[in-house]
A and B are shown apart, each in its own frame.
Chain A
Amino acid sequence: MENEMNKDLLLAEDGLSADDFELLEETEKDSEFIAVEAKTYFQDAWKNFKKNKLATAGLIFLVIMLLAAIFTPMLSPYTYDQQDLTMRNALPSAKHLFGTDKFGRDIFIRVMYGARISLSVGFASAFINLILGVMYGGFCGYFGGKLDMILMRLVDIIYSVPTLLYVILVMLIFGSNIFSVLLAICISGWIGMARQVRAQVMSLKEQEYALAAKVMGASDSRILFKHLVINSIGPIIVTTTHMVPSAIFTEAFLAFVGIGISIPQASWGTMASEARGLIMSYPIQMVWPVLAICLTILSLNFIGDGLNEALDPRKRS
């Protein structure tokens, strides 16, 4: 009764009466419910990734590079070691798109073969390092204690042996080929990932959902891989994207120093190394492999940065 009076009073004060209102139609009742379409984590990340122009450009370049690396050697009339001594050090022309080197080999096709080597070394080593690093880091972070300390000290030691020593050792045992390069990069390459995952898992395992999962009887491996690792997927993906360029870097460096894959196979590093001797007379031969290395690594870094922002909402500006 009193309520009714209050309401009338209020309405009167505003100069409104009950007649000024009407009931909502049934269909209009949802209009308060304003929400965007629900998205999964990766749909949301993809939407944000696409907004980043540099990252998108990087992705497009990388896809083109990958397709070119796979298909151009199949379609081209030249091969990476086919010499034409009448056409030495030719400048770029319609016949030889990027010109030829001192043995008359087509530089364009060699850059494409180089892409095969560099990209496979990059992606394969990132994949291996991803698996190893997540397993090792996850194990150490989850179980902690003395075992963790011993295992992490072991990692410190493996990490402090100069990479070059591993490289030489592997090369001498397995020969100078792409697999040796890959193996040498992976011996200590996974450690960064292991440290990252360990730190993530250590902080995440203190969260309530981990405890809840444990109380409900989930096994350790389920908690670790289905909960903790999945929840650190953002940093893991970002670290992986940064591993690809660093592997390509290492391969190029080794080839440049002269201990990578053996000639006449083409990698961007060996091509740069060969062009170094002719840098004053035919600088154009240096340009192509260098451009290939720099643009590829630049693209990968842009993609990594784009993913970093896209996968972690806190980092969006």
Chain B
Amino acid sequence: MQMSKYILKRLLFGVVTLFALAAITFFLMHAIPGSPFAGETSHVPAEIRAKLIEHYGLDKSPTEQFVIYMKNALNGDFGTSLNRKGMLVADIIAMGLPVTAKLGACAFCLAMFMGILLGTIGAFAKHRWVKNAITFFATLGVSVPGFLFALFLMVVFGVLLDWFPLIGLSTWKHYIMPSVALSIGPIANITRLTKSSLSEQLKQDYMILARSKGTGQVLVIIRHALKNAMIPIITSAGPLLATLLTGSFVVESLFSIPGIGAEFVNSVSNRDFTLIMALTIMYGAMIIVANILTDIISAMIDPRIRLK
């Protein structure tokens, strides 16, 4: 199939998926009991409340509300936050996203670099104990929940040793602990993937051929083995990037980072409908784009995928 046609088809599917996602989230949200005006504004007189509800269009049927919402969203208007008075949802996202994305990008680079490095060492190591140590670390890394690891880092390196600042993101030093906390799980995952994928390649005949032609070990690894082992790594890197760029609730709230990740849980517990919608759509769009990019890059690297 032609590449451009394929991409177009995928994009079209992406748009349909996104629309369905928006619809499901919208109606699920309306099924959640509780109202954004239940908390601090509950003492407000009934007329004013009715006025407020009318002002935000909450008196219309969910279907009508959805149609209005989608119309506005297509014009780039995601409404105002129901919880934070007068704040545009688009502004909240525009403020939080760059912070989260910057941190996510650091964590992503760290995860890819360390994961591929450790995985390669694990696959090629001569000594058995090196292999075992890496396997053990990788399994440990996927076995420790992120929030516990973040807490551990904070206590040991932030409080006891006092090497890194605990909260905020003002200098490069601030980035280290949250990046490590975010990337530990992904590092372990990519290490496992790289190791198993590379071990598979090692058994192939072309590896022996390359070696017997006198190619150096490092060059064989980089030019032949790694290139061929890349597909499963890329396939998991796409969704990983999307997840890291949208942030983590735990890491952001533990390190007091004013990003978008912490926003989601808060918006859900505050019933901030407009913010939930916008964040879900953003998250969905990121995942969809990441998946399409992953498929395109895989097809570029591996001609066998293109032929299908």
Contacts and interface: CB of A to CB of B under 8 A. Distances in A.
B20 A305 contact: no
Given A153-B17, A157-B17, A294-B144, A302 B139 contact: yes
Contacts of A156: 17
Interface size on A, as a range, is 35 or more
Interface residues of B, number: 39
A173 B33 CA distance: 8
Given A160-B287, A279-B155, A290-B148, A165 B143 contact: no
Given A172-B33, A256-B250, A283-B155, A165 B139 contact: no
A290 B144 CA distance: 9
A224 B8 CA distance: 35
A253 B145 contact: yes
B143 A297 contact: yes
B239 to A, nearest CB: 10
A294 B250 CA distance: 18
A168 interface: yes
Interface in A152-171: 153, 156-158, 160-162, 164-166, 168-169
A280 interface: yes
B34 interface: yes
Given A156-B17, A165-B25, A257-B249, A294 B159 contact: no
B255 interface: no
Nearest to B136: A54
Interface in B30-73: 31-34
A189 interface: no
A276 interface: yes
A61 B284 CA distance: 39
B207 interface: no
A117 interface: no
A252 interface: yes
A253 B265 contact: no
B35 to A, nearest CB: 12
Contact of A165 (B136, B142, B144, B276): B276
B175 interface: no
B148 A272 contact: yes
A168 B148 contact: no
Contacts of B140: 294, 298
Contact of B139 (A153, A252, A257, A305): A305
Contacts of B155: 279-280, 283
Give the top 9 A-B pairs by smallest Cβ distance, nearest first.
A298-B143, A297-B143, A157-B20, A160-B284, A301-B139, A168-B268, A256-B147, A160-B21, A301-B143
Given A161-B25, A252-B147, A253-B145, 8 more contacts: A161-B21, A164-B264, A249-B145, A272-B147, A294-B144, A298-B139, A301-B139, A302-B139
5 contacts: A160-B283, A173-B31, A252-B147, A259-B269, A293-B145
